[in-house]
Amino acid sequence: MIAAGKAIKKTSERQEKTAAKAAIFPQLSVKYFSLSLALLLLVSIVLDRLIIPALEDDGKLVSSSWSEEDEFIYYWAHARNKADLAHNPVWHSRLWPVPEKSQKAHRILVLGDSFAWGHGYSNMNDIWWRQLARELDRRGYKDVEVIAAGMQGLNTRLELEVAKKVIPRFKPDLVIWGYIPNDAEEISTQNAESLDQKLLFRPHRKNGVLEAFKGLYPHLSYQLLAQREAYLRKTRSGEFAKENQPNWVFSMLSGENWKRYSKTLDNTAEYLNSLSIPSFIMFLPYECPGKIDFAEIKAHYDRLFPPIRKAFEDRNVHVVDAYDTWIKAAEGEENLQKKGVLWFGINPANAHPNTWATHAYGSHAADVLEKDFAPILGTKSSKSPTQTSIRVNDCIPPNLQIQQNDNKIVIVYPAKKSDDFRNMPLRKPFIELNLETPINAKEISLGGTGLKGASLYVTNVDGKKHFDNGEMFNLGQKSGSWLLWKVPESHGREINTISISANVVGQSRGLILEIKN
Q: Along the 517 residues of the chain, how does pLDDT read in single tens digits?
A: 445 555 555 555 555 555 555 555 566 666 766 777 677 667 666 666 666 667 677 666 677 788 889 999 999 999 999 999 989 999 999 999 999 999 999 999 999 999 999 999 999 999 999 999 999 999 999 999 999 999 988 999 999 999 999 999 999 999 999 999 889 998 765 665 666 555 566 665 444 444 445 556 565 555 555 554 554 444 333 333 334 444 677 888 889 999 999 999 999 999 999 999 999 999 999 976 667 889 989 988 998 999 999 999 999 999 999 999 999 999 999 988 888 888 899 998 899 999 999 999 999 999 999 999 999 999 998 765 555 678 999 999 999 999 998 789 999 999 876 578 999 999 899 999 999 999 999 999 999 999 999 999 999 999 999 999 999 999 999 999 999 999 999 999 999 999 999 999 988 999 999 999 8
Cα distance between residue 447 and residue 491, in whole Å: 22
Give φ, ψ of 398 to 5 degrees. -65, -25
DSSP 183: G
The 3-state DSSP class for residue 161 equals helix
- Beta-sheet pairing, 144-150 with 106-112: parallel
Cα distance between residue 138 and residue 202, in whole Å: 38
Could you count the other beta carbons within 10 Å of the beta carbon of residue 131? 25
Closest to 201 (Cα-Cα) out of 78, 283, 374, 357: 78
Helices 323-332 and 294-313 sit at what angle, rounded to 10 degrees?
A: 160
Reply yes or no: is the peptide bond before residue 307 cis, omega within 30 of 0. no
Residues with Cβ < 8 Å from 222, sequence gap 6 or more? 63, 64, 67, 214
DSSP 84: B
- Beta-sheet pairing, 392-396 with 174-179: unpaired
Domains and CATH numbers, the chain: 82-184+260-337+353-377 (3.40.50.1110), 392-516 (2.60.120.260)
- Give the DSSP H/E element, type plus range, for residue 228: helix 218-237
Count, residues in the chain: 517
pTM to 2 decimal places: 0.85
CA distance to 19, 414, 441, 508, per residue, from 478 (Å): 66, 19, 19, 19
Helices 323-332 and 355-372 sit at what angle, rounded to 10 degrees?
A: 140
On whether the CB atoms of residues 234 and 115 are closer than 8 A, the answer is: no
